[in-house]
Structure 1
Amino acid sequence: MARTYLDYNATAPLRAEARDAMIAAMDVVGNPSSVHGEGRAAKTIVERARAQVAEAVGCKPQEVVFTSGATEAARVLSMRPEGCDVFVQDTAHDALWSHLDLSNVAERPFGPGHTLAMGLANSETGVVSEIPDRLDGQFAYGVRRADYLLLDVTQVVGRIPFSFSWSGADLAICSAHKLGGPKGVGALIVRQGLDIPALATGGGQEMGRRSGTENVIGIVGFGAAAEAAMQDLADGKWQQIEKLRNILESSIEESAKETIFVGKSEKRLPNTSCFASSGWKGETQVMQMDLAGFAISAGSACSSGKVRESRVLRAMGYDAEVAKSAIRVSLGPETTEDEIYRFAETWLKHWNKHRARAA
């Protein structure tokens, strides 16, 4: 049975450009920290990738710290002094929420001051948040004020225009595999001049901010994928993807008018549709569509395979019934119009069966 992949927000298929770059990097035998020719060759391709990622994120190359992914990069939130809180956006990813109650573990925090951590685009709903302005040196978060801003731009880079340099943020986190790079590599972006403790201590790699021999092959793949993703964005590829997303929602809404499309009236990522049919569990829908040959999800993929009520939808004000019934369809550059129509047709067949059983 032919498979249709519609879960790009969980991970994107590896781009050909990234695969080719990684295969070539396998023949570079040197350690980037070595001073001999082989080491310099490895260092050269790592620095080229750093420049490619910097171009995609809109920052300076020296502001890019390579990590094992966005989750590791978010560890910077735990490096704060006692009394300096982290305020986390209620719809933020668990990678940010997990640092909310951690105690001080840093000898040299990047404080003093409070930090606001937020996702620029939500992975479950695609809703894009407004970046708060810095007023009198602080960011407003409800009634609270923060001195530093960390943005999770994992779902944003290569999909919508973004530049770290104009965002006003102090820190940002992202992952390679969301834009067609390999899994297990990401980056922490640190505003030039901001002094932070090391994510990992040891040999002092990554400008002393993340020790450990660099994952050269993964980093090179990250750089190649970032460059290719930005070319897609410049070529208008994501505008075409948005048209497909709109076709999907129109096709479903035409027959299943009571379907709730989350964030439809708000600014969203062009590829993401989160919708719910109250009373029909999202977990059931995911399994039924999987058996029919379509890969979708019911929320974030970072819960070790668990499907549960969406914390994000509850935070947005939806009741538990809707939160349990939501699924996410996320498209990518390889998605075709035929796949969208076939998915809508298949989903509606199962929706009609569900309605018949519930009647």
Structure 2
Amino acid sequence: MEVYLDNNATTMVDPKVFEEMKPFFIEKYGNPNSLHRFGAGTHPKMLEALNYLYEGINAADEDDIVITANATESINSVIKGIWVDKILNGDKKHIITSEVEHPAVTAACKFLESQGVAVTYLPVNEQGVLEASAVKEYIKEDTALVSIMWANNETGKIFPIKEIGQICKAAGVPFHTDATQAIGKVKVDVQDTNVDYLTFSAHKFHGPKGVGGTYIRKGYTLTPLLHGGEQMGGLRAGTVDVASMVGMGLAMKLATSPIALAHEEGHIKRLRDKLENAILEIPETIVIGGKENRTPNTTLISIRGVEGESMLWDLNQNGVGASTGSACASEDLEANPVMNAFGSDSELAHTGVRLSLSRFNTEEQIDYAINVIKNAVERLRGLSSSYAYAPESHKSAL
């Protein structure tokens, strides 16, 4: 049996989405910016897709949603756009983010630091969540942007976006949230949360790879990251990938419907908890960050005495796909930065295994995965020359 439990890295394209995309490869292939019927023939479905995106995050008609290649491009567009608009061409010189952001946010902020921008990286608490009060404490008169993720890609922990949005609004500071790991798992509402910029990627909610979006609240602007033609109202140059845009729109509609979100909070959460609780029956295993305030599909578990990379090899040999954390950093064998941010010891920092489910996982698959994981732990601990089960010596692992 094959069981895919790495849905925070990417998801299977929903078959309904794939069928919606197919005509735009061969039948309706015109450039949407062309004036002839071949180009114009793409417009109805593009408009429909855009409407689905607006509805999915509750954007207002006056707001902008820009189609991009992925969340990484969207994130860079926001952070570097703010850099140009408010730092290079203004009097701001400070950005606030967290220590556990996706590498796209962290790397963009590191680049700005190399250009003389001051960046504050706020730590998370013992539960792996950034406290809104910390944002308020560090906002200064020269703060140009606050960028805090909606949900963490490794732990699934949900951050207090509404409270942070209120703080930023009161201080007159633009607020960006990376909602890549939240859409399709929890309700995302830009109006309710005072979010000014929001970024996402279709392949995280059963859409195609290679397409994402940037939400921009009315009254806010960004210098484009890509210059060229007048596509997307001049906010993002380049011919739009119509098939991917159409697919992302339908994927958004399917993932954010009340029925879909209830399924996540009910059935998917139940399967995640079943998997997690079975693993926690193994001595010296813990859930990183605890069980509260998470997306319904995600768990990051530390198994003392078992290297994360070794565990993944065993799981892969038995048809189970999982991750040690962010897929965007999967080739980096350094200690997991999220584990480090939690203050874990040097041994535990290498033991995290992330399991992330989707609506396409079944009860039978979870039962199989539980058996595989338990067998792998027994085998790998048996091979270890340093591991010995001694509960008294590891009471305060985290």
Relative to the length of structure 2, the TM-score reads 0.82
How far the C-alpha of 1:299 sits from its partner, in A, is 0.4
Query: For the residues of structure 2 that align with 1:326 and 1:47, how far apart are their CA atoms?
Result: 43
The 8 Å contact of residues 4 and 293 in structure 1, kept in 2 or not, is answered as yes
The 8 Å contact of residues 305 and 381 in structure 2, kept in 1 or not, is answered as no
Residues 297-340 of structure 1, C-alpha deviation per residue, up to 9 Å, x if partnerless? 00000126444421012112222221210000000001111211
4+ long deviations beyond 6 Å: none
Corresponding residue to 1:130 among 134, 157, 160: 160
Corresponding residue to 1:78 among 80, 84, 90: 80
The 8 Å contact of residues 17 and 228 in structure 1, kept in 2 or not, is answered as no
How far the C-alpha of 1:291 sits from its partner, in A, is 0.4
Within 5 Å, which residues of 2 pair with 1:71-150?
A: 71-75=72-76, 76-79=78-81, 80=83, 81-82=87-88, 83-103=92-112, 113-131=143-161, 132-135=164-167, 137-138=169-170, 147-150=173-176
More deviation, 211-220/314-323: 314-323
Give the aligned partner of residue 261 of structure 1: 287
How far the C-alpha of 1:112 sits from its partner, in A, is 7.6
Q: How many matched pairs?
A: 346
Residues 176-218 of structure 1, C-alpha deviation per residue, up to 9 Å, x if partnerless? 0000111010001101111211121111111111011101111
Root-mean-square deviation over aligned CA pairs: 2.1
Query: For the residues of structure 1 that align with 2:101 and 2:52, how far apart are their CA atoms?
Result: 27
Give the aligned partner of residue 243 of structure 1: 270
Query: For the residues of structure 2 that align with 1:174 and 1:112, how far apart are their CA atoms?
Result: 27
| Residues 297 and 136 (structure 1), Cα distance of their counterparts in 2 relative to 1, 3 Å cut | closer
AA of the residue aligned to 1:201: H
Give the aligned partner of residue 164 of structure 1: 190
Query: For the residues of structure 2 that align with 1:135 and 1:253, how far apart are their CA atoms?
Result: 38
Residues 122-141 of structure 1, C-alpha deviation per residue, up to 9 Å, x if partnerless? 111111111214348446xx
Corresponding residue to 2:299 among 273, 285, 288: 273
Residues 60-98 of structure 1, C-alpha deviation per residue, up to 9 Å, x if partnerless? 355210000000001120221144222221111111001
Query: What percentage of aligned pairs have identical amino acids?
Result: 29
Corresponding residue to 1:252 among 279, 290, 294: 279
Within 5 Å, which residues of 2 pair with 1:340-351?
A: 340-351=366-377
How far the C-alpha of 1:273 sits from its partner, in A, is 1.0
How far the C-alpha of 1:38 sits from its partner, in A, is 2.3
Query: For the residues of structure 2 that align with 1:198 and 1:42, how far apart are their CA atoms?
Result: 25
AA of the residue aligned to 2:250: A
Query: For the residues of structure 1 that align with 2:168 and 2:251, how far apart are their CA atoms?
Result: 38
AA of the residue aligned to 2:273: N
Query: For the residues of structure 2 that align with 1:216 and 1:242, how far apart are their CA atoms?
Result: 34
**Do residues 338 (structure 1) and 337 (structure 2) align?**
no
* Greater share of residues in helix: 2
Unaligned 5+ residue runs, structure 2?
117-140, 389-398
The 8 Å contact of residues 85 and 113 in structure 1, kept in 2 or not, is answered as yes
Query: For the residues of structure 2 that align with 1:220 and 1:18, how far apart are their CA atoms?
Result: 8
| Residues 234 and 285 (structure 1), Cα distance of their counterparts in 2 relative to 1, 3 Å cut | closer
Query: For the residues of structure 2 that align with 1:113 and 1:39, how far apart are their CA atoms?
Result: 44
**Do residues 315 (structure 1) and 341 (structure 2) align?**
yes
Residue 41 of structure 2 aligns to a residue whose secondary structure is helix
**Do residues 206 (structure 1) and 206 (structure 2) align?**
no
Query: For the residues of structure 2 that align with 1:352 and 1:339, how far apart are their CA atoms?
Result: 20
| Residues 323 and 9 (structure 1), Cα distance of their counterparts in 2 relative to 1, 3 Å cut | same
| Residues 171 and 281 (structure 1), Cα distance of their counterparts in 2 relative to 1, 3 Å cut | same
How far the C-alpha of 1:287 sits from its partner, in A, is 0.8
| Residues 237 and 74 (structure 1), Cα distance of their counterparts in 2 relative to 1, 3 Å cut | closer
Give the aligned partner of residue 58 of structure 2: 58
Query: For the residues of structure 2 that align with 1:112 and 1:220, how far apart are their CA atoms?
Result: 40
Query: For the residues of structure 1 that align with 2:182 and 2:337, how far apart are their CA atoms?
Result: 21
Residue 14 of structure 1 aligns to a residue whose secondary structure is coil
More deviation, 270-279/324-333: 270-279
Relative to the length of structure 1, the TM-score reads 0.91
Residues 218-240 of structure 1, C-alpha deviation per residue, up to 9 Å, x if partnerless? 11111111111123525534420
Residues 268-306 of structure 1, C-alpha deviation per residue, up to 9 Å, x if partnerless? 010001101123110110111000110000000012644
Unaligned 5+ residue runs, structure 1?
106-110, 140-145
AA of the residue aligned to 1:4: V
AA of the residue aligned to 1:101: K
